[in-house]
Amino acid sequence: MVENGVDDMKRIIGTKAPTPRLFNIPTEFIERFRKQITLVRNRVSSWVTLCTIPGLIKKNLKFWTG
């Protein structure tokens, strides 16, 4: 959801989930959430999502990247 967002029917684009819809969440909230998240690859090449709380990304980025 962070990378691709949702379509007009609020289906999460690119997901493999059986029910990829966010029925009760306003589109504005979804977009705001997407802007507040940063994706960071960790040492084992899987994605980690981190909220943009001041200092949190810097602290966790150092942990994940060494």
The string of DSSP letters for 2-44 reads TTT-B-TT-BBTT---SS-B-TTS-HHHHHHHHHTEEEEE-TT
Tell me the HSE value of 17 on the side-chain side, using a 13 A CA sphere. Answer: 10
pLDDT in tens, 31-64: 888 888 777 666 655 555 555 555 665 665 565 5
Q: What is the pTM of this model?
A: 0.57
3-state secondary structure of 57: helix
At residue 13, the pLDDT reads: 93
Structure confidence at residue 57 (pLDDT): 59
Structure tokens of 49?
A: 């999502």
Query: What are the pLDDT digits (tens) for 14-32?
Result: 988 898 898 888 989 888 8
